Structure 1
């Protein structure tokens, strides 16, 4: 798969998850979400959508170029999971006060076997 194909599948994945969230917001507010009191106005909402689509597209393209995914479904999944992927990458890249890389075990959430897991 080319990087462009991966990017387009990632864009579709990000668009799909945004569409589902938008549908949920419409059902919750019973109007356009930016018209509901307490919700962001149209500008910030649109900016957040563009940012998420860009991140999903970019991550899928990068994963494709790095041979981390081999097909359309993988690129689609990267687009859908883009915010979670960024969150996990940022956790693993945190530095300690002295500038040394943080212990890799501390970056793994407890629910999947990290260092903070409690033994019963």
Structure 2
């Protein structure tokens, strides 16, 4: 599948979500949403739609170029899920400078040597036998 086809399917996915959201807004307000005081005006609405479509199309192109999409439905799904994809990717990046380099307290790290029981501790006994009891 080519880059242009990925972009078009991603755009359509974004358009589908925006269209359904817009239909819900019309139903909720009983008319054009931008005519209601609590809703954004037509220009901010249009800008938000263009941003949503561009992100959906761009992510579909990126995934398609990387070989992560096998067909039109995958590109469509990326366009639909674009906000979730961006949120998940952004969650993988530390937001504060140096947060990944700061030392962590060893006691709070699962699997760290300080959190594991020591061989000489009598306070806990761990059985390594499977399927039986220690009193055999």
Superposed CA offset, 1:41-86 (max 9, x none) = 1111110000000000000011000001110000000000000100
Q: Which runs of 5+ in 1 are unaligned?
A: 103-120
Q: Which residue does the alignment assign to 1:2? A: 2
Residue correspondence of structure 1 range 14-29 to structure 2 within 5 A? 14-29=14-29
Post-superposition offset of 1:98: 1.8
Q: Which runs of 5+ in 2 are unaligned?
A: 103-136
TM-score, normalised relative to structure 2: 0.71
What is the alpha-carbon distance in structure 2 between the residues aligned to residue 100 and residue 18 of structure 1? 36
Q: Which residue does the alignment assign to 1:32? A: 32
Residues 101 and 85 of structure 1, relative CA distance in 2, 3 Å threshold = farther
Cα pair 2:10 2:57 within 8 Å, conserved: yes
Structural RMSD (CA)? 1.6
Q: Which residue does the alignment assign to 2:63? A: 63
Post-superposition offset of 1:26: 0.2
Q: Which residue does the alignment assign to 2:110? A: none
The structure that is helix-richer by fraction is 1
